[in-house]
């Protein structure tokens, strides 16, 4: 296995996270409840993990801010457009 530096690992993890978020934005038909039932996490979980990571770095973000980061739009707007 190739040895990675901490910086390389962080960059790869960040890229994978961004791709996951982009994939979820491209597939709003994948409902949160279905994700939760199948995978044990959903978009809201990702938002909570994002906020927790920010808090570990001393950055205060609100639920609406982190949800918009994950959903690509305000959460209420996403719910109105895509939630069944």
pLDDT computed for residue 1 by the predictor? 79
Query: pLDDT 10s per residue in the chain (84 long)?
Result: 789 999 999 999 999 999 999 999 999 999 999 999 999 999 999 999 999 999 999 999 999 999 999 999 999 999 999 998
Residue 3's Cα: distance from chain center in Å? 27
Q: Give me the residue label for tokens 């960059």.
A: 11
Give pTM, 2 decimals.
Answer: 0.89
Residue 63's Cα: distance from chain center in Å? 12
List domains and CATH numbers for the chain: 43-84 (1.10.3340.10)
Q: d(Cα 60, Cα 30) in Å, to the nearest integer?
A: 29
Q: Give me the residue label for tokens 């770095």.
A: 57
Supply the Cα-derived Rg of the chain in whole angstroms.
14
């Amino acid at each position: 296995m190739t040895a990675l530096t901490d910086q390389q690992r962080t960059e790869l993890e960040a890229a994978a996270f961004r791709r996951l978020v982009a994939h979820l934005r491209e597939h709003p038909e994948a409902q949160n409840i279905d994700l939760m039932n199948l995978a044990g996490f959903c978009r809201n979980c990702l938002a909570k993990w994002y906020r927790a990571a920010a808090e570990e770095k001393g950055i205060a973000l609100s639920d609406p801010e982190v949800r918009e980061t994950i959903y690509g739009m305000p959460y209420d707007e996403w719910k109105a457009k895509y939630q069944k």
